[in-house]
Copies of this chain bind each other. A is one copy, B any other.
């Protein structure tokens, strides 16, 4: 399988982490994608031009990151990173919340990348910041259990890692419990450190 990915994407990192946790990394070749390049084959594989996109052996592609994580869990036998019991939907919602925080952070970065100084909207940036602030407060009050590496924990770790990467870890001062959670997660799940973004 080919994984269209980029080193900094929090959603691609979810897939790289899940593959390592599920011992599937050997079956996945990572092929970097440039989402801003119309000539990149990514847009033929995923018309949305988004990463991660997982291209299967017979050429069919799977996305988005949630679908890919469920597919990897299925390949690994099922029930490994997505609970099958009563906590399933709370876990999937936690993953959606963490993804929403990462999405809002990405929209803040896009505001810099896509618009000139005078054309940026303080109101839009504030709107996205509100999602991040409220999302982290809820995730802080309802963090995954220590040692658990399910889709909720994976998505949360990747969202926090992205905030560290792009916003210098400004979230840390107000969320000591999430800081402690991330530290414990990082210590118990080597895939987190192994998939960290490294500047080339």
Stretch at the interface among A60-68, A172-180, A185-193: A60-68
- Shortest distance between the CB of A152 and any CB in chain B (Å): 11
**A49-B131, A93-B63, A137-B47 in contact; A115/B104 too (CB < 8 A)?**
no
> Which partner residue on chain B sits nearest A136 by CB separation?
B47
A60 to B92, CA, bound (A): 13
Which of chain B's residues have a CB closer than 8 A to the CB of A96? 63-64, 66-67
A41 in contact (CB, < 8 A) = no
A123 lies within 8 A of chain B by Cβ: yes
Interface residue total, chain A, C-beta cutoff 8 A? 40
A100 near B137 with CB under 8 A, answer no
The proximity string for A residues 21-65 relative to B, scoring 1 for CB distances below 8 Å and 0 otherwise, is: 000000000000000001000010011111000000000111110
Rounded to whole angstroms, the CA-CA distance of A198 and B140 in the bound complex is 40
Is A112 close to B, CB under 8 A?
Answer: no
Residues of B within 8 A of A158 (CB): none
List 20 additional A-B contacts (Cβ < 8 Å) besides A62-B93, A64-B96. Answer: A43-B130, A47-B135, A47-B138, A48-B97, A48-B104, A49-B131, A60-B90, A62-B90, A62-B92, A63-B96, A63-B97, A64-B100, A67-B92, A67-B93, A70-B89, A74-B89, A114-B121, A114-B124, A115-B121, A118-B119
